Amino acid sequence: MSLFEHFVVAYKKEYLSQKPTFDESLLGLLKKARYLLLDDRLSPSISLVDALDRLKIRVKEPMKVAITGQFSSGKSTFLNALMAKNILPTGITPVTSKVNYIRYGEELKIRVKYKDGRDEYHDAEHISRFIDQRKGVEDIDYLILYSPLNMLKDIVFVDTPGLNSLSYKDTQTTINVLNEVDGIIWLTLMDNAGKMSEAKVLKRYLSLYKNKSLCVLNQKDKFSEEEINQSVAYVKESFGDFFSDVVPISAKQALKSRSSDKLVLMSEALDEFTKSLRLKLENNMQANNFDTIKEVYAQYDAKINDIINSDLSENIELSKVSNISKVIDFIKNEIQPKAIESKEYSIKKEINSVCTKIINQYEICVKIYNELKKEIEDFELSSQKSFTRAKKEFATELKDAYVNITQIIDVIATEIYNHVEIVKKQRYKKEKKAWLQKEDKYLKIEYEAPFINADEAYKKLFYEDNIVGKMFKKYAKVLSDIQNRVDETNSKIYKKFEEDIYRWQSPYSIIRKKEEIHSDIEFANIRKFAARVYEHILKPYNDEMLKSRAHVSSGFEHILSAIEFNYQNATGICISFLNEKMESFAKLYEQNPTRFSLYYPTLEDIKHRLNESFFIYKLENLMNKNRTFLNLDYDRVSETFHNIKQEKLDFIDKTKNRHENIIKLLKKCQKELNI
């Protein structure tokens, strides 16, 4: 039973008959997908397992909201304003080159995740060391900023590098992040909103997102109210398909006004107090620690009283003008209520994407095998056409070569005929007995009888003039030329096929998976198959061509030897036969001249006898009929090639059909997953 047949049997037994039950929750859906996609018979990759594990984590964690847009649009400043903390580094150049996950934590800390798997924790004030692309951070994968902001208990913000960074890697990183978030806030500069460059980016990356995003127009502080209203109206009209709302803000003003919230100021004061206390204690280990604590606490207490008694109306007004509250309201009233729906949609979309990628993996395999099948099928068609042309061409040439043999025979026959000479012979006739004659008396009578002067004929044909030898050399060269062209033609037919197969082999012997989640084993199998394409496909064709070459060579050798080693002997046999026949007839003639006559060989008699001696009728079958020995060999090779083709197609189909049936099963799984 084949691997795929095992898979089908197991699928029917385990999935159709004894399928585990899964609830209708998002987690149940994911478990069902894992059950189907991580079957050992599909040779799942570690990356696929990791991808599904990440989805499992996403199911359980708070929703993610990406802060994205084109670079230098103020994303980091905007996030600082949202958190009321000036933590993320900002700059004119695209500073952030790493993804920053901003999560809830009891204290302000950063976790640095390195590409080699290492984890490090640092104070948040050092974050720029790890995300600023100007400081060399190639070995860092991503960062997590933990902050005790209540909003982060329900939302994880994702700070991205941007979608039009000069760095391809930064743009690709942002694209990957957008595939795993549940909401998007698109940040753009007021004077950049609606430009063609943004339109292309929005259409490419946000058109497939289910829930409309929030568009935030930054730097409103630089424009008049009329200009702001015009920009907002234009974006709403032009990009309404992407955005649920458009909010103009000033991230700079919002960040500056963070002191409008006394609780935030108190939290900052507490952070400063704990840091200052720790430093004092570390630097004064031998001193009176109680006095140190009293001193630092007194400073903290004074600052808290100042905050409580301070007039923050100016900062409150600045916060209002910045419009940041509308963004916060959108998050609370629009994004958060849709979090479950967004997450479910996003995760379902990702599961569907995973299924599609695995299907695509098998479609790639099917395409590869179909290309190989086409090469084999095309070769049969082209070889049949080539064989047909070759049969016609070489049949004519063999016929001409056969005519050369008959011409040699004609020359020999003519020369033999020319050497039929007359010799005087005697015969004795019994006379009638006279009366009383006791003994018989015979009358000697002379007569003329034919005979072939073999010595003279040989001298003319084979020795002095060597007429036949010269003709045979030309004939042998003709045969050799035909054989060489037959070999060359056949070699070209096969070599073209060999080149096509090796051209097919070239990319697939080194093929690597297109997606990380693709199966390493399946692509390794393709590489192994392609690497052994000679054994799998070419060898039987090559063996047959070698066999054909041996047959053809044997045929030409047979024809050549029939003349080369026979022409002088056949001539001698012919002359001996004819001389014996003439002698036999002469004896009969001498016995009874009235009843028997002498035999005079005609030219046709000599030709016929030579044809017998040269086995010309067998040569005619080999060279001068529709089914020449070459035609018979071409027909045999054609039939063998057809059988090889069928065998190889069946062999390829066995593997290809397994992939096609897995595709059908996976598509069925997609329907059953209702994604």
pLDDT of residue 375 exceeding 90: yes
**How many Cβ atoms from other residues are within 10 Å of residue 598's Cβ?**
16
Distance between CA 457 and CA 467 in Å, rounded?
A: 11
- Which region holds residue 43: left if phi is over 0, alpha if psi is between -120 and 50, else beta? left
What is the chain's mean pLDDT, rounded?
82
Instruction: Identify the architecture of domain 61-250+327-337 in CATH.
Output: 3-Layer(aba) Sandwich (3.40)
Closest CA to 36 of 19, 53, 24, 50: 19
What are the respective helix, strand and coil percentages of the chain, to the nearest 5?
65, 10, 20
Domain boundaries, the chain: 61-250+327-337, 259-322, 385-433+440-505+533-653
Residue-wise pLDDT tens digits, 302-357:
878 777 767 666 677 777 888 888 888 888 787 777 767 777 777 888 888 888 99
Residue-wise pLDDT tens digits, 575-626:
999 999 999 999 999 888 888 899 999 999 999 988 888 878 788 888 877 7
DSSP 224: -
For 130, the 3-state DSSP assignment is helix
| pLDDT at 262 (0 to 100) | 66
Closest CA to 673 of 657, 59, 665: 665
Residues 6 or more apart in contact with residue 263 via CB below 8 angstroms: none
Provide, rounded to the nearest whole percent, the portion of the chain with pLDDT above 90. 27
* Alpha-carbon separation of residue 462 from 405, 412, 569, 603, 607 (angstroms): 16, 10, 11, 20, 18
pLDDT band per the 50, 70, 90 thresholds, residue 92: very low
Among the ranges given (234-243, 282-291, 512-521), the one the predictor scored with the smallest mean pLDDT: 282-291
| DSSP line for 46-77 | HHHHHHHHHHHHHHHSPEEEEEEESTTS-HHH
Is the pLDDT higher at 28 or at 83? 28
Distance between CA 551 and CA 547 in Å, rounded?
A: 6
pLDDT of residue 537 exceeding 60: yes
Pairing, β 109-114 against β 140-147: antiparallel
Distance between CA 474 and CA 469 in Å, rounded?
A: 9
Distance between CA 123 and CA 144 in Å, rounded?
A: 12
pLDDT of residue 540 exceeding 80: yes
pLDDT of residue 93 exceeding 50: no
Distance between CA 182 and CA 469 in Å, rounded?
A: 96
Averaged pLDDT, 11-26: 65
Residues 6 or more apart in contact with residue 176 via CB below 8 angstroms: none
